[in-house]
């Protein structure tokens, strides 16, 4: 499973990318607004060091305007993925943009039928939002299982399942167990995957014992 980082914070992405764990990035209008920076400048900076897919969302609602915005965003770098909403107009824009060779991420997916539509519109990625489904008392991971099952029935579907709206580490594990192609993970959650109290305890024990030897590795 690939790891994308779900943020528009360039410094945070750069720091996480140094681990080699970052296969791509997703942004959305809310994440861009949070940074209070120029959208194009942020995307240019990210694409300068992240070579995997970087999602940038259109804000128009009509197909023609979405396509125009998508074309403009796609000019930023070869690895830009144009994000369009799961609407009738969005699906039409998806079909056109993918036909032009642009990667497209159909976002705000909340049902298996919506994911099926994205695949039939030749989306590169479809983004089911698991956290927001959990927020309203539905089971986000159940949806991932359903979409995986559907996509696996048809060789003609190339659309990747991009698990979005992740709130915690267990959702990353569950997405991997269900065979999702990508999880887009908020930086805080990605960092939390590293932690385990027994790792901290074990490390302290090793270092305490090493201290007793009076040795140092670097002279
Ligand atoms: C996905 O591409 C979205 O940016 C994101 O995962 C939304 O997550 P949220 O529900 O935490 O806002």
pLDDT reported for residue 172: 98
pLDDT at 219 over 90: no
CATH number of the domain within which 104 lies: 3.20.20.70
Q: Is residue 86 part of a domain?
A: yes
**By alpha-carbon position, which residue is closest to atom 7 of ligand 1?**
165
Q: Is residue 34 part of a domain?
A: yes
Q: Is residue 53 part of a domain?
A: yes
| Residue 151 neighbours by CB under 8 Å, 6+ apart | 115, 119, 157, 159, 161
The mean predicted confidence, pLDDT, of the chain is 97
Q: Is residue 187 part of a domain?
A: yes
Q: Is residue 219 part of a domain?
A: no
Query: Of 83, 188, 201, 212, which residue is the catalytic one?
Result: 83
The response to whether residue 39 sits with its C-beta less than 6 Å from ligand 1 reads no
Q: Is residue 192 part of a domain?
A: yes
C-alpha 72/C-alpha 40 separation (Å) is 10
Ligand 1 atom at minimal distance to the Cα of residue 135 = 10
Residues 139-171: tens digit of each pLDDT: 999 999 999 999 999 999 999 999 999 999 999
Measured in Å, residue 141 CA sits from the centre of ligand 1 at 15
Q: Is residue 13 part of a domain?
A: yes
Residues 58-116: tens digit of each pLDDT: 999 999 999 999 999 999 999 999 999 999 999 999 999 999 999 999 999 999 999 99
Tally of structural domains, the chain: 1
Band (pLDDT 50/70/90 cuts) for residue 194 is very high
Q: Is residue 218 part of a domain?
A: no
The response to whether residue 107 sits with its C-beta less than 6 Å from ligand 1 reads yes
83 is catalytic: yes
**By alpha-carbon position, which residue is closest to atom 12 of ligand 1?**
165
Ligand 1 atom at minimal distance to the Cα of residue 164 = 6
Predicted TM-score of the model (pTM): 0.96
Q: Which domain holds residue 62?
A: 2-213
């Amino acid at each position: 499973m690939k790891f994308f980082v779900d943020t528009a914070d360039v410094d945070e992405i750069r720091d996480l990318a140094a681990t080699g764990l970052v296969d791509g990035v997703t942004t959305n209008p809310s994440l861009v607004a949070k940074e209070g920076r120029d959208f194009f400048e942020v995307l240019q900076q990210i694409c300068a060091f992240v070579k995997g897919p970087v999602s940038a969302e259109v804000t128009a609602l009509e197909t023609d305007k979405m396509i125009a915005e998508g074309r403009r965003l796609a000019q930023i770098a070869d690895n830009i993925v144009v994000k369009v909403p799961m609407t009738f107009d969005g699906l039409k824009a998806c079909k056109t943009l993918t036909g032009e060779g642009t990667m497209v991420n159909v976002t705000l997916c909340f049902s298996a039928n919506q994911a099926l539509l994205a695949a039939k519109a030749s989306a590169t990625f479809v983004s089911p939002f698991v956290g927001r489904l959990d927020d309203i008392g539905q089971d986000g991971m159940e949806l991932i299982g359903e979409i995986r099952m559907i996509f696996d029935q048809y060789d003609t579907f190339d659309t990747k399942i991009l698990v979005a709206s992740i709130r915690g580490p267990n959702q990353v594990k569950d997405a991997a167990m269900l065979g999702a192609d990508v999880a887009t993970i908020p930086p805080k959650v990605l960092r939390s995957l590293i932690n385990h109290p027994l790792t901290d305890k074990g490390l302290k024990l090793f270092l305490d014992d090493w201290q007793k030897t009076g040795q140092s590795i670097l002279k």
